[in-house]
A and B are shown apart, each in its own frame.
Chain A
Amino acid sequence: MSSLLSIKNMSVNFDTPRGSLEAVRGVDIEIPAGMSVGVVGESGSGKTVMCRAAMGLLQGSTVNRTGTVIFDGHELTAMSKEQVRELFGSGMAMIFQDPLTALNPVRRIGVQLSEGLRVRLGMSKSDAMARSKELLELVRIPNAAAVLKSFPYQLSGGMRQRVMIAIAISCNPKLLFADEPTTALDVTVQAQILQLLRELREDLKMSMVLVTHDLGVVAGNTDYVAVMYAGEVVEYAPTKKLFADMRMPYTEALLNSIPRVDHKSGTRLTVIAGRLPDPTNRPVGCSFAPRCKYAQDKCTTDHPELKTDPDGHIYRCWFPIGESL
């Protein structure tokens, strides 16, 4: 299967007053064309930084990115800022977590939506407006003509997120990064937005990277899942396989800590004690060892490398689940 995006050995460091902060460490991910890949982990595990670094959105003297990112035959890491920007919109696009702050508060929806169409596709002002109206209808916004003339503050959170999606898909991108697209929304609106993304992906033949902290969202909306912890990918497998046969203790612990509607009421949750390690001072061995119930001596002294099962299931653990000691 050909990869649309492949990230090889990417690391991102931030210089901070407390020393170098390793937000992403040696990440390898392949996004197969036409597929949807979920990136899961707790806050601070490096999910967002990984996506933004892949798109080249992190800039400034305090950011150090190493490794290679190849998108659709282009090596992004070897291109200039201007060349990478040419790919935004028609190559790859992003939906951000907070739809209110991602939209410009003082410009009307129509102006923001038609901007990409005019710049990227060279449409005239009136053509771009007409297409914008179609896009709003495509993301199921009722009364699209009125919404084109509205400002973001006049719309609800769910409506704003639909506008964000309309902007992201306006130039037919091949790859859509969705960074926690439903975290700020109600559960009913979340279900609507996820359904919309599934349908658009099918109609437009788009690949998607879906970043979320919710394993429930991943289960129904992705083909592959990458689990991140402390800046590293700790498990990567097809979604069905991951849920059926977890190898990494962290993934298991994360799943068990979720309250579920399909469990009996009053069921005590299994807790992952403690919190993520300090990103300026990571443990020597496995990053998850201090919180892991299966941890042995080796886990605190030696850093585990990624292992690949014959069926392609990738994990980072000395003593994976399902293997006798």
Chain B
Amino acid sequence: MAGSGTAHMRNTVDSVLTVRDLTVEFRISKNKIVKAVSGLSFDVVKGETLAIVGESGCGKTTMARAILQLPPPNSGEVIFDGTDLTQLPKENLRSARTSMQMIFQDPISSLNPRLTVHQLIDEPLEIWDRGTRVERDERINKLLFSVGLEPDLVLNRRSYEFSGGQCQRISIARALALDPRMLICDEPVSALDVSIQAQILNLLLFMKETHGLTMLFISHDLAVVKAISTRVMVMYLGKICEVAPPDVLYTKPAHHYTRALLNSVPIPDPTKQIRTELLQGEPPSPMNPPSGCRFRTRCVGASALCAEQEPQLREISPGQFVACHHPIV
């Protein structure tokens, strides 16, 4: 299924981020090219949380980094707030990034171990010269307090003195320091314990409401995504399979890959075990993706057509878009 197309694009004036035909490839030797992201298009509307789901290696993180131009994509447009980031000179790109912040997967290694919490959060404020020393200190205290940390206890400590959950709170405070419009969260809770995971997810939901944020939320865990997103995009080998609001996607998945992902999620209820049609094998190499639909080699519904022609995204019910020749009905 993994296919191309732009039917799911809304092209409204409310779009905070519009990505068109994004392609990222890495050359690893003379003739070998890893096609990490291939012709991806989507838009994120103000106030929305778009979740991006897929297995390891499907290009989720590469895509997020390409949006921030870390590194820039091989081709495609990334339009944030009306400007195409791929065309911006370096200096303008730096200032554009202030309104687009990222939270990383590993909370401990994403904080500089040699800086105190005060220095970590002050750094962006100092670089962008936001207010006087007193104003900045006040801002830092406010931020720490809002993420549930006691400023007096944490300000002079360093990241290794904290647990994973506390480090993730510090990361959130740092990301919000410059009042961004958009937050890109790359698997922010997958390294955390279940009980801590719930605390961080609720904190992100709260921050989104109080700061009016738009979010891009990357995760491989469909259950986590369901709790936080307003729109879900399923990816496979650098392409889009399905885009839909969570309640539709989880009750009526149209893509065979989406259904296989859902069937894999263990449900904490021994009376409700659904175990039909488990996905077999592992994704093929992105160096040599299958022709046509990239999912066809593992798909139960694949036909000859799937090898010849790449499916395009199309709307099969209001708000639900699928790239598949034989969607589940």
Contacts and interface: CB of A to CB of B under 8 A. Distances in A.
B273 A259 contact: no
B261 A192 contact: no
Interface in A40-67: 42-43
Interface in A185-200: 186-192, 194-195
Interface stretch (A92-100, A216-224, A296-304): A216-224
A220 B271 CA distance: 9
Contact of A267 (B163, B227, B270): B227
Contacts of B265: 187, 216, 261
Contact of A217 (B224, B247, B266): B266
B262 interface: yes
Contacts, number: 141
Nearest to B262: A261
Given A216-B267, A254-B194, A189 B282 contact: yes
A47 to B, nearest CB: 12
A325 interface: no
Interface in B181-207: 193-199, 201-202, 205
B7 interface: no
A217 B273 CA distance: 10
A263 interface: yes
Interface stretch (A77-85, A127-135, A268-276): A268-276
B45 interface: no
Interface residues of B, number: 48
A195 B278 CA distance: 9
Nearest to A42: B193
B179 interface: no
Nearest to A194: B266
B48 interface: no
Interface in B271-312: 271-273, 275, 278-282
A190 B264 contact: yes
B194 A239 contact: no
A215 interface: yes
A14 interface: no
Given A265-B247, A265-B250, A266-B227, A188 B260 contact: yes
A257 B261 CA distance: 22
B221 interface: yes
B269 A259 contact: no
A259 B224 contact: yes
A265 B268 contact: no
Interface string B211-232: 0000000001111101111100
B195 A156 contact: no
A18 interface: no
Contact of A214 (B227, B266, B278, B280): B266
B55 A186 contact: yes
A253 B198 CA distance: 11
A214 B194 CA distance: 8
B246 A187 contact: no
Contacts of A262: 267, 269, 272
Nearest to B260: A188
Interface of B: 55-56, 163, 165, 193-199, 201-202, 205, 220-224, 226-230, 245-247, 250, 260-273, 275, 278-282
Interface of A: 42-43, 142, 156-159, 186-192, 194-195, 213-220, 239-240, 243-244, 253-255, 257-273, 275
The 7 A-B residue pairs with the shortest CB-CB distance in the complex, in nearest-first order? A216-B266, A265-B246, A191-B264, A257-B198, A269-B198, A215-B268, A259-B227
